[in-house]
C-alpha cells in the first residue's frame, strides 16, 4: 500500500473521487448515500483541514463511512474483465486505503454496509 502524507491526503482523495466518478454513468452518491456530494465534500474539507493541523487528520465515524463507500467502489474492479481498468481501480483503492490508514487508524477493516442489494447480499 502506498503511503500518503497529511499534506497530500486531500489531493489524493480528490483525484481518486474524480477518477472513479468519471467511470460511472450515474451519480454514485445517489446510489450510495454514504458517498453523497455533501458527505464527500465534508470529508474533503476534513482532509484539507487536517493537512494544516499540527495534530494531523482524524476522521469522524461518518467520514470513515464515506471513505469506505469510495473504497468499495474502487474494489468493484474485480468484477471487470478489462485488466487495465482493474489495475487502475486497484491503484485508486490502494490510495484511498492509505488515506484511511493515516486518518482512521482505529478502524482495522471497512465498516459494514447494511444496505440490502438486489442480490440480497
Q: Collapse the DSSP code of 29 into the 3-class scheme (helix H, G, I; strand E, B; otherwise coil) and give the result.
A: helix
Residue 55 has which C-alpha cell?
Answer: 495534530
User: Which residue has cell 486497484?
Assistant: 90
Element (H, E) at 79: none
**Rounded Cα gap, residues 77 and 62, in angstroms:** 24
Dihedral (Cα; 99, 79, 35, 93), 10-degree rounding? 10
- All three cell numbers of 109, joined, read 477493516
The residue assigned the cell 482532509 is 47
Best-predicted range by mean pLDDT (62-66, 76-80, 109-113)? 62-66
Each residue's pLDDT tens digit, 80-95? 678 888 889 999 999 9
Amino acid at each position: 500500500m502506498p503511503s500518503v502524507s497529511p499534506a497530500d491526503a486531500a489531493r489524493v482523495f480528490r483525484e481518486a473521487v474524480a477518477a472513479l466518478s468519471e467511470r460511472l454513468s450515474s451519480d454514485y452518491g445517489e446510489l450510495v448515500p454514504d458517498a453523497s456530494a455533501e458527505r464527500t465534500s465534508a470529508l474533503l474539507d476534513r482532509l484539507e483541514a487536517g493537512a494544516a493541523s499540527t495534530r494531523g487528520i482524524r476522521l469522524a465515524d461518518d467520514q470513515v463511512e464515506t471513505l469506505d463507500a469510495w473504497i468499495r467502489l474502487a474494489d468493484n474492479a474485480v468484477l471487470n474483465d478489462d485488466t487495465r481498468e482493474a489495475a487502475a481501480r486497484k491503484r485508486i483503492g490502494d490510495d484511498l486505503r492509505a488515506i484511511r490508514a493515516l486518518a482512521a487508524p482505529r478502524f482495522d477493516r471497512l465498516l459494514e454496509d447494511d444496505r440490502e442489494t438486489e442480490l440480497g447480499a
